């Protein structure tokens, strides 16, 4: 039995696939198996995969049912034989000591732990301000080990940069339902089930940015999908019957969340952080400035204000009056 199973779903990754698989072969940690699932590629990916399977017995093909990424993850996980399991994207690169660092961290971790690590986006010419902001934000989570405290803002567990005990992942049911974005949904499920997060040392993943990346082009990873998934998890935990849902922020994300809340038959109390917006009516809903709203201690509020801007003064005020803020940024 190999120690680690690496799971890679592939679709039209020909330009990057050879570099990805080479980076796995060159790992300092050698006790691994790698399962490859070609989910209907129309380029030259199949030929590259066949060459690696023929030359290195640690690479193994898994038949695909062509049902998309979540089904591919489910099929790959069912095939895994290793004690530990990790995911890899076919267009990315593993730093040479990635598996070694993840394994060593997980070996000393208690049960119900997911291990992650710092990431580095590349190439530089494809990485804009938002990409670098997310990279720094993710790596800051690893430095501070405060992943779960920030889970409502953005996905705190990068989809190709984690490792778990295989049976614990199977028992978690993370790939059982077709819910996108699947990496963020997985993080929420582990959070709810009481898993802890530990960070491995060093840069654990090189994340390639390019225009044809699936997460860039699919609606499964658009703003609406992220907001709907977060709202679905939040309402299970915090919605009380007949209590209004308080939303801070009146721009696109605030409007999007408002529609989702109202679609579930719940009332929205809409708050603004700027004085000149308060008093207006948007989408038939009056807007109240957050300092004028009659909060009670113990209230919960969802903020859709941009995470790039600094709103610490607002959140400090709300905290001081006993309001718990969840940032859907």
pLDDT digit string (tens) for the chain, length 329 residues: 899 999 999 999 999 999 999 999 999 999 999 999 999 999 999 999 999 999 999 999 999 877 889 999 999 999 999 999 999 999 999 999 999 999 999 999 999 999 999 999 999 999 999 999 999 999 999 999 999 999 999 999 999 999 999 999 999 999 888 789 999 999 999 999 999 999 999 999 999 999 988 888 899 999 999 999 999 999 999 998 788 999 999 999 999 999 999 999 999 999 999 999 999 999 889 999 999 999 999 999 999 999 888 899 999 999 999 999 999 98
Question: What's the number of domains the chain is made of?
Answer: 2
Is 233 part of any domain?
no
Residues 258 and 210 in one domain: no
Is 226 part of any domain?
no
CB of 180 within 8 A of CB of 68?
Answer: no
Determine how many CB atoms are found less than 10 A away from the CB of residue 59. 21
Q: What is the dihedral of CA 227, 149, 134, 228, to 10 degrees?
A: -10
Residues 75 and 206 in one domain: yes
| Environment class of 263 (CB within 10 Å of its CB; exposed 0-12, middle 13-18, buried 19+) | exposed
The CATH number linked to 24 is 3.90.550.10
Is 225 part of any domain?
no
Residues 184 and 295 in one domain: no
DSSP string computed for 259-318: HHHHHTT--EEEEESSTTTTT-EETTEEEEEGGGS---TT-EEEE-S-SSS--HHHHHHH
Q: Please tell me the distance from the alpha carbon of residue 62 to that of residue 68, in angstroms, as a whole number.
A: 14
Is 72 part of any domain?
yes
Q: Which residues of 156-194 are buried (b: 16+ CB within 10 A; e: fewer)?
A: bbbbbbbbbbbebbbebebbeeebbbbbbbbbbbbbeee
Residues 64 and 189 in one domain: yes
Is 260 part of any domain?
yes
The neighbouring-strand residues paired with 115 are 163, 198
What pLDDT sits at residue 241?
A: 79
Q: Please tell me the distance from the alpha carbon of residue 317 to that of residue 176, in angstroms, as a whole number.
A: 41
Residues 215 and 253 in one domain: no
Which residue segment(s) compose the domain that 179 sits in? Answer: 4-220
3-state secondary structure of 23: helix
Residues 201 and 306 in one domain: no
Last residue of a domain, one of 152, 187, 220: 220
Last residue of a domain, one of 185, 220, 255: 220
What pLDDT sits at residue 221?
A: 92
By DSSP bridging, strand 300-303 and strand 324-327 are: parallel
Of residues 113, 79, 63, the one with CA closest to residue 7:
79
The CATH number linked to 294 is 3.40.50.720
Residues 215 and 243 in one domain: no
Residues 56 and 169 in one domain: yes
Is 188 part of any domain?
yes
DSSP string computed for 137-164: HHHHHHHHT-TGGGTTTS-SS-TTSEEE
Residues 98 and 153 in one domain: yes
Residues 267 and 124 in one domain: no
What pLDDT sits at residue 21?
A: 98
Dig out the tokens for 306 from the structure.
């941009």
What pLDDT sits at residue 230?
A: 97
Is 296 part of any domain?
yes
Residues 200 and 311 in one domain: no
The pTM for the full model equals: 0.93
Residues 284 and 196 in one domain: no
Is 228 part of any domain?
no
Cis geometry, peptide bond prior to residue 181 (ω within 30 degrees of 0)? yes
What pLDDT sits at residue 177?
A: 82
Last residue of a domain, one of 153, 188, 220: 220
């Amino acid at each position: 039995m190999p120690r680690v199973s690496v799971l890679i779903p592939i679709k039209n990754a020909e330009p990057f696939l050879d570099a990805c698989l080479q980076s796995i072969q060159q790992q300092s940690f050698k006790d691994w198996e790698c399962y490859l699932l070609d989910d209907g590629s129309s380029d030259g990916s199949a030929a590259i995969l066949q060459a690696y399977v023929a030359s290195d017995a640690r690479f193994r093909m898994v038949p695909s049912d062509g049902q998309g990424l979540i089904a591919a993850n489910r099929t790959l996980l069912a095939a895994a034989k290793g004690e530990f399991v990790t995911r890899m994207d076919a267009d990315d690169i593993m730093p040479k000591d990635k598996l070694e660092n993840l394994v060593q961290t997980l070996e000393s971790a208690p049960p119900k732990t997911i291990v992650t690590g710092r990431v580095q986006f590349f190439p530089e010419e494809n990485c804009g301000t938002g990409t670098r902001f997310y990279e720094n934000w993710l790596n800051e989570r690893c430095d501070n080990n405060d992943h779960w405290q920030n889970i409502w803002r953005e996905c705190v567990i990068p989809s190709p940069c984690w490792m778990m005990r295989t049976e614990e992942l199977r028992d978690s049911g993370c790939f059982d339902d077709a819910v996108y974005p699947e990496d963020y949904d997985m993080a929420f499920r582990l959070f709810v089930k009481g898993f802890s997060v530990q960070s491995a040392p060093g840069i654990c993943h090189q994340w390639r940015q390019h225009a044809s990346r699936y997460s860039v082009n699919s609606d499964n990873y658009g703003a609406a999908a992220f907001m709907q998934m977060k709202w679905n998890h939040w309402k299970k935990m915090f919605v009380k019957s007949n209590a209004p849902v308080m939303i801070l922020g009146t721009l696109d994300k605030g409007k999007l969340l408002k529609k989702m809340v109202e679609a579930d038959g719940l009332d929205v109390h809409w708050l603004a952080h700027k004085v000149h917006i308060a008093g207006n009516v948007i989408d038939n809903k009056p807007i109240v400035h957050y300092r004028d709203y009659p909060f009670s201690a113990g209230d919960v509020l969802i903020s859709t204000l941009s995470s790039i801007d600094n709103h610490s003064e607002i959140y400090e005020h709300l905290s001081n009056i006993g309001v718990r803020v969840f940032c859907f940024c």
